[in-house]
């Protein structure tokens, strides 16, 4: 069902359909077939594709060096509520034409922040009601909500970690309203991305105190959310830097350590963004693996960086090999726990046609679908799994097994070492693993 408001914004574009890989139609899926079952679930269920309200409907192509290139009607309106309603109409039209089920938002993506706290609160309540009606009429859902505690100048020294208590309390007030909107819209998860939680220089920073404040802030946010009936995940989205020199939620391992230290590990999981992983000098796969091992693989922000650029370019995913490696971890760990795949990606400044945002999302969805199909084949029809298991087979029986079970002490190991003086080298077979992967792409 296509959901239209008073105006049709994407004229001439209908519902995007699956046409199969032989199709030449740039406005059709070639791999993403929502109802096709792969590894026991439909693609729709595996991915829960979501669009990012901020990039798809908030952006206008402007960058540090130049003004807007994309002149969307909803961005040109002056009156904030009218503009916000038009933007919501465009968003629902777009999501329904894509055939996706979800979107993600920050509080002030839904409507422009007011001149003061009270005005912002009123605007948010008005837009929550408007969007709630559109949700009931369309069946489109919200994957996660969040709060923009980054853009307003008051947060220049941080939100939860600001050295000025008044700013910390203001951020809490803002998150409370965002949580209220989240609960009213039956949103499934709530994300914290600490864009300004970190430092530009340690010279002026009391890191221990700031981390304690962030812990306290998240404890109180969790307790408030739960007391209001929010049952979903809270998610931390790690990023090592940008806009700051150093962000406290540097990567998955750091964020998981932080959550455990403050007793938050039962309510929080991780939202992993591809380009944030690469900024932290990790692969996307590495971050998925770390989160999955701790039972915290919550959600994904899908995008990609650029090999030559060292910043968050947030481009739409198109690297099938990278995503296939990721899908191997995704499938083996049982998928995402409550989250989905949110396209936290923006079209380029020079992509100025109304169809470009469709083409971008189709390409992203097809990349994930194609990778999922390949990963499933690799797991079920190639020697990949058995080769991996074989590498560790010395732990399956005898002394190796006893070691794993904690039955051997250092003297036992010393005795075994003495007995096995000659150790035959075992090949790691990296090139074999790599060629197996490529065979299935
Ligand atoms: C920015 C982040 C942001 C979060 C939500 O780098 O990716 O968009 O996903 O605040
Ligand atoms: Ni993100």
Reduce the DSSP state of residue 146 to 3 states and report it: strand
Which amino acids are annotated catalytic?
A: 106, 109
312 CB near ligand 1 (under 6 Å): yes
Beta bridge partners of 301: 273, 342
Dihedral sign (CA 333, 335, 340, 345): positive
Torsion (CA) 255, 257, 261, 263 in degrees, nearest 10: 70
pLDDT of residue 194: 97
Domain ranges across the chain: 17-381, 385-439
Top-level class of domain 17-381 = alpha beta
239 CB near ligand 1 (under 6 Å): yes
Nearest to 227 by CA among 294, 180, 274: 180
Q: Rg (Cα) of the chain, in Å, rounded?
A: 24
Give distance in angstroms: CA of 191 to centre of ligand 2.
Answer: 9
Q: pLDDT digit string (tens) for 11-62?
A: 999 999 999 999 999 999 999 999 999 999 999 999 999 999 999 999 999 9
210 CB near ligand 1 (under 6 Å): no
Q: pTM above the 0.95 mark? A: yes
Report the C-alpha gap between 349 and 339 in whole angstroms. 29
pLDDT of residue 294: 97
Low-confidence ranges of the chain (pLDDT < 70): none
pLDDT of residue 373: 98
Q: pLDDT digit string (tens) for 229-257?
A: 999 999 999 999 999 999 999 999 999 99
């Amino acid at each position: 069902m296509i959901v239209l408001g008073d105006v049709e914004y994407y004229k001439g574009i209908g519902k995007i359909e699956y046409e199969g890989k032989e199709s030449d139609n740039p406005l059709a899926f070639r791999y993403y077939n929502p109802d096709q079952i792969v590894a026991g679930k439909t693609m729709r269920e595996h991915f829960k594709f979501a669009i990012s309200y901020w990039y798809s409907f908030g952006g206008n192509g402007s960058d540090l060096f130049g003004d807007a290139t994309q002149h969307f009607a909803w961005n040109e309106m002056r009156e904030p509520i009218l503009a916000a309603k038009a933007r919501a109409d465009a968003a629902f039209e777009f999501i329904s034409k894509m055939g996706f089920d979800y979107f993600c938002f920050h509080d002030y993506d839904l409507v422009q922040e007011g001149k003061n706290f009270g005005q912002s609160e009123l605007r948010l309540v008005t837009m929550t009601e408007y969007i709630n009606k559109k949700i009931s009429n369309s069946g489109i859902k919200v994957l996660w909500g969040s709060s923009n505690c980054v853009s307003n100048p008051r947060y220049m020294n941080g939100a939860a970690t600001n050295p000025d208590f008044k700013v910390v309390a203001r951020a809490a007030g803002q998150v409370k309203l965002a949580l209220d909107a989240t609960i009213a819209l039956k949103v499934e998860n709530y994300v914290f991305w600490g864009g300004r939680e970190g430092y530009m220089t340690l010279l002026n920073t009391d890191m221990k105190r700031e981390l304690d404040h962030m812990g306290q802030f998240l404890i109180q946010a969790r307790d408030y959310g739960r007391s209001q009936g929010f049952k979903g995940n809270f998610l931390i989205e790690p990023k090592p830097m940008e806009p700051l020199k150093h962000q406290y939620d540097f990567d998955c391992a750091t964020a998981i350590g932080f959550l455990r230290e403050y007793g938050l590990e039962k309510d929080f999981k991780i939202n992993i963004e591809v380009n944030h992983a690469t900024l932290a000098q990790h692969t996307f796969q590495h971050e998925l693996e770390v989160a999955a091992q701790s039972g915290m693989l919550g959600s994904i922000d899908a995008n990609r960086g650029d090999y030559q650029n060292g910043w968050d370019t947030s481009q739409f995913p198109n690297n099938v090999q990278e995503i296939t490696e990721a899908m191997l971890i995704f499938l083996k760990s049982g998928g995402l726990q409550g989250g989905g795949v949110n396209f936290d990606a923006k079209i380029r400044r020079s992509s100025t046609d109304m169809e470009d945002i469709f083409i971008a999302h189709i390409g992203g969805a097809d990349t994930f679908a194609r990778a999922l199909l390949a990963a499933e084949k690799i797991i079920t029809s190639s020697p990949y799994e058995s080769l991996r298991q074989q590498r560790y087979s010395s732990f399956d029986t005898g002394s190796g097994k006893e070691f794993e079970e904690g039955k051997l002490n250092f003297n036992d190991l010393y005795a075994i070492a003495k007995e096995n003086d000659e150790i035959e080298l075992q090949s790691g077979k990296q090139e074999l693993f790599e060629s197996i992967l490529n065979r299935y792409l």
